[in-house]
Amino acid sequence: MSDIVISLDRVNKWYNPTFQVLKDCSLDVRKGEVVVVCGPSGSGKSTLIKCVNALEPFQSGEIAVDGVRLREKGVDLPKLRARVGMVFQNFELFPHLSVLENLDLAQLKVLGRSKDEARAKSEALLRRVDLAAHAAKYPGQLSGGQQQRVAIARALAMDPVAMLFDEPTSALDPEMVSEVLDAMVELAREGMTMMVVTHEMGFARKVAHRVVFMDRGEIVVDAEKEEFFAANGNERARVFLSKILGH
Amino acid sequence: MNYHWNWGIFLEPSPEGNGTYGQMLLSGLWMTLQVSVLAWTLALCAGSCVGVVRSLPSAWARRLSDVWIEPLRNIPLLVQLFLWYFVLPELIPETWGDWLKQLPNAPFYNAVVGVGLFMSARVAVQVATGLAALPRGQMAAGLALGLTPGQTYRYVLLPMAFRVVLPPLTSELINTIKNTSVALTIGLAELTARARAVQEFSFQVFEAFAAATLGYLAINLLATLAMRLIERQARLPGYGKA
């Protein structure tokens, strides 16, 4: 079982005593695995992924990341989060820092890397996402697609054991979706462990190992990709798929 | 109007015996500057801390910030200066009270603390507003990278929040400078107090207050200019377009 990087065990979360957003969610993500989480809006998929790096608290159950249990007493949350990369729907680059400084910041302040070390790492990652020419620019000067690729590079700069993507292409203009997906596909092919909340079923077909379908806070389907997309799969998942693919 | 103009008054020796009337006014200007700089420093430091507390998600933190902010901004500055200067020394244990009363330059320290605290409440509200104006995801992004909440404030949130509220902070800086004039009531020899002294000695009321007016105008225009330069320096390419 040592190859399990992210494990969720019967996670329950309430926003108030009457509204339960997550119901008994259990899920394992193995090393090198790409798990796509999909489902209708309000189904709890973004909440679920934010629980993984403790950005959202949950009331019962347990999540372990690389063997570290989130609810254990005295757990070092910043240290744990530093080992998990996260990419947000709205990029969330730091607007007052240049692209390069965005990548440097946590390397310097969290990992304690030297300035030269961080710089070398940042520059290599910017080359990798094809943005080396924009290193000195500010986020406000980049397109949405470029900003999201910077955000991916920023997360990778921490040498994470896994990457979480929370609807990484939902806020993008259509013509910029593919450049971000391409970067994610490349990452998946290099063997990065990934948990991806997305509606991009093309991405799921291409690189996912498993697809998880959520509805009303529950994990309804957790299946191998081939099985998920097969015509005789789960009824609710089929209805959902026909809605987002059927046009 | 039967008024005897005398613009040469500033060069005439003052009855204080250690310089001219002009030098009296300059000493007041210098005092105003010193109190302003120190009070603004105090207002910025304390106000930023309280503003950060006010921006925390906990309801208790917000209430705590109210305990600081509400008395300081709802009681007139003049009353606050009297409270610090005349009432506080009587309320605390006698030895401390005596020490306060015998403190050399007591009006100076009182003015710095009084005006500084009064303005800190206003700065706190501005800083909290600036923090609230930032996208909620910025905090999450900082935390997700492994920064502590403190580091996220220091390196991510506050640098942007200050940029957002730089224009209203300019007004608060100017208010701080103008408010130092209230300290003449506790005997601080700042610019307005010195202008009054010139008037009382020489009866040249128009000249004295014309000079004080120009003094305040000059300081405040310089302060505004300095803030404009900071604003220009802090402007981010491409930010706020979309």
* Residue A229 and residue A213 in contact, taking contact as beta carbons nearer than 8 Å: no
Query: What is this structure's pTM?
Result: 0.90
Residues in chain B with CB shorter than 8 Å from the CB of A53 are: 144
Q: Are A210 and A222 in contact (CB under 8 A)?
A: yes
- Residue B60 at interface with chain A, using a CB cutoff of 8 Å: no
CA distances from A79 to A51, A111, B26, B32 (A): 15, 9, 57, 49
The pLDDT-based confidence of B171 (bands split at 50, 70, 90) is very high
pLDDT by residue for chain A (247 residues), tens only, comes to: 459 999 999 999 999 888 999 999 999 999 999 999 999 888 999 999 999 999 999 999 999 999 999 999 899 999 999 999 999 999 999 999 999 999 999 999 999 999 999 999 999 999 999 999 999 999 999 999 999 999 999 999 999 999 999 999 999 999 999 999 999 999 999 999 999 999 899 999 999 999 999 999 999 999 888 888 886 777 777 888 888 776 5
Between CA A44 and CA A155 the distance in angstroms is 23
* A78 interfaces chain B, CB cutoff of 8 Å: yes
What pLDDT does residue A2 have? 57
Report yes or no: A108 at the B interface, CB cutoff 8 Å: no
Query: For B98, which DSSP code?
Result: H
Using the Cβ of A110 and the Cβ atoms of chain B, whether some distance falls under 8 Å is answered with yes
Give the Cα separation of A203 and A56 in Å (integer): 26
Q: Looking at CA atoms only, how far is residue A97 from chain B in angstroms?
A: 9
Give B155's strand partners. Answer: none
Q: Does A136 touch chain B (CB under 8 A)?
A: no
Task: Count how many Cα atoms sit within 13 Å of the Cα of residue B60 in the half-sphere of its side chain.
Answer: 0
Residue A84 pairs in a beta bridge with A162
CA–CA separation, A57 and B149 (whole Å): 15
Chain A residue numbers with beta carbons less than 8 Å from the beta carbon of B241 are 140
Q: Is A57 on the interface with B (CB under 8 A)?
A: no
Is A69:A75 a contact under the CB 8 Å cutoff? yes
Q: How many CB atoms lie within 10 A of CB A224?
A: 12
Can you tell me the mean pLDDT for B127-150? 96
Average pLDDT over residues B90-109: 90
Q: What is the mean pLDDT of chain B?
A: 94
Structure tokens at A227: 């099985």
Q: Tokens 């744990």 identify what position?
A: A80
d(CA B26, CA B12): 14
Report whether B207 contacts B22 (CB < 8 A).
Answer: no
Chain B's closest residue to A137, CA to CA, is B237
Q: Which domains does chain B have, with CATH numbers?
A: 29-234 (1.10.3720.10)
Write out the two tokens for A130. 């094809």
pLDDT at position A1: 46
* pLDDT tens by residue, B52-90: 999 999 999 999 999 999 999 999 999 999 999 999 999
Interface contact B140-A55, CB threshold 8 A: yes
Q: How many CB atoms lie within 10 A of CB A161?
A: 16
Question: What are the residues whose beta carbons fall under 8 Å from the beta carbon of B225, sequence distance 6 or more?
Answer: none
Contact A181, A198 (CB under 8 A): no
* Cβ-nearest to B238 among A105, A109, A141: A141
Three-state DSSP class for A99? helix
**Subunit contact B144:A53, Cβ cutoff 8 A:** yes
Collapse the DSSP code of A231 into the 3-class scheme (helix H, G, I; strand E, B; otherwise coil) and give the result: coil
Instruction: Please enumerate in sequence order all residues whose Cβ is within 8 A of that of A180, keeping only pairs 6 or more positions apart, or say none.
Output: A145, A148, A149, A152, A168, A169, A172
Write down the pLDDT at residue B242: 45
Q: For B14, which DSSP code?
A: P
